[in-house]
Amino acid sequence: MEYVELNNGVKMPILGYGVFQITDQEECERCVLDAIEVGYRLIDTAQAYGNEEAVGKAIKKCGVPREELFITTKVWISNAGYEKAKKSIEESLKRLQLNYLDLLLIHQPFNDYYGTYRAMEELYKEGKIRAIGVSNFYPDRLIDLIKFNEVVPAVNQVETHPFNQQVKAQEVMKKYGVQIQAWAPFAEGRNNMFSNETLKSVGDKYNKSNAQVALRYLIQRGVAVIPKTVRKERMIQNIDVFDFELTKEDMDLIATLDKGESLFFSHYDPQTVEYLTSLVR
């Protein structure tokens, strides 16, 4: 496994396992156990996913020392604000059966996320969180948060895949020392990613799949990734991306796939904001 060093010196696996949309508790527990067994050490969950408890059970059962694992969760919109966020973070720790978190993110830039961040900064200074950051923060809101808070976010988790490569956003993050992390590195299969001819032509040279090429491309750009699958054989395939290296020609070719826009939603779209802010689970 390769690691990236965050802006506070904490080392984070560049490739982890995400549990978004694995709502069945038994299946989620099984998936996390499988992921850890095949070599994953970063597990990414969130309050909104409804599976922190299952992740916690798997962590307890896995047999891997806690200090070798890197556990991430996220504060949801409905828990925004200093008091509510602080309470919800303690509840997340209980569900996960953990004494500390390796990374805690604000899930969406809505509601009183400034109050949320103050609570996170406090718990960070107390040692209950090793690193704090954000998710889905576009450059404008990320800069605003950085300018008016003491602790610079260590990570910004955003939609990043071959069709939305976040090149300009990554430049802003680099400027401020924020590590970019990709959610949906496979674009959830949209744009026929798993049969894309460009990715296939590159993968054929290395006997690698489209998924492996996509992950390798992001990793070589310094993008941390958290692919999700419920199939153990796919988990093994997704982590098997450290034994080959794409050439500059390969990288330039894949760069041409970038459309520079989301395949899911835009926070600049009023309807999207109305929808996301109505989700209060």
Which residues participate in the annotated binding site for substrate? Answer: 107
State the binding site. 107
Triad 45, 46, 51: Cα angle to 5°: 70
Catalytic: which of 3, 17, 40, 49?
49
Triad 13, 258, 44: Cα angle to 5°: 25
Torsion region of 28: left, alpha or beta (phi above 0 gives left; psi -120 to 50 gives alpha): alpha
The DSSP code for 15 is: B
Residues in the chain: 281
Q: Which of 144, 224, 113, 14 is nearest to 121 (CA)?
A: 113
Q: How far apart are CA 266 and CA 111, in angstroms?
A: 17
What does the block give as tokens for 175? 């400027």
124 an active-site residue?
A: no
Alpha helices, DSSP H only, in 154-231? Answer: 167-176, 197-206, 210-220
Active-site annotation, residues = 49
